[in-house]
Amino acid sequence: MNQSADEQRRRALGEFIRSRRERTTPEMVGMPPSLRRRTPGLRREEIAMLSGIGVTWYTWLEQGRSINVSAQVLGAVARVLRLDDAERAHLFALAELAEQHPSPPASTVSRAVRLMLDRMEPYPAVVIGPHWEMLAANRAYLALIGDYTELPPEHHNSMLLYFTDARWRRVMGGWLDNAASLVARMRAAMAADVAAPAWRQLLSMLERHSPEFAQIWERQEVAPMESMVKTMHHEVGTIRAEVVHTWLADRRGVRLTVYTPCDDATAELYEQLRTFTPPRVARPLPTDGLLARA
Per-residue pLDDT tens over the stretch 90-102: 888 888 887 655 4
| 119-124: long-range pairs with CB below 8 Å, 24+ | 120/258, 121/274, 122/270, 122/271, 122/273, 122/274, 123/258, 123/259, 123/260, 123/261, 123/270, 124/241, 124/258, 124/259, 124/270, 124/273
Please report which confidence band the pLDDT of residue 291 belongs to, taking 50, 70 and 90 as the band edges. Answer: very low
- Has residue 288 got a pLDDT over 50? no
CB 252 within 8 A of CB 219: no
Contact 127, 256 (CB under 8 A): yes
How far, in whole angstroms, is CA 185 from its chain's centroid? 12
State phi, psi for 98 to the nearest 5 degrees. -90, 125
> What contacts 275, CB < 8 A, 6 or more positions away?
none
Ordered by start, the domain boundaries in the chain are 5-94, 106-293
| Model pLDDT, residue 28 | 76
The pLDDT score that the predictor gives to residue 261 is 95
CA-CA distance, 134 to 156, in Å (whole number)? 6
Q: What is the mean pLDDT of residues 123-135?
A: 93
Q: Are 34 and 26 in contact (CB under 8 A)?
A: yes
Architecture of domain 5-94: Orthogonal Bundle (1.10)
Cis ω for the linkage preceding 122 (within 30 of 0): yes
* Percent of the chain at pLDDT exceeding 70: 87
Q: Which CATH class is domain 106-293?
A: alpha beta
Best CA proximity match to 281, nearest among 175, 174, 155: 155
Res. 121: pLDDT tops 90: yes
What is the C-alpha to C-alpha distance for residues 152 and 48, in angstroms, rounded to an integer? 46
- CA 187/CA 7 separation, integer angstroms: 31
Find the mean pLDDT for residues 56-72: 87
pLDDT at position 290 is 37
Per-residue pLDDT tens digits for 142-197: 999 999 998 888 889 999 999 999 999 999 999 988 999 999 999 988 877 777 78
174 or 293, which is more confident: 174
Determine the pLDDT at residue 34: 65
pLDDT of residue 118 exceeding 70, the answer is yes
The rounded distance, in Å, linking the Cα atoms of 202 and 208 is 10
How much is the pLDDT for 285?
61
For the chain, state the CA radius of gyration: 24
Mean pLDDT of 202-222: 93
pLDDT of residue 235: 97
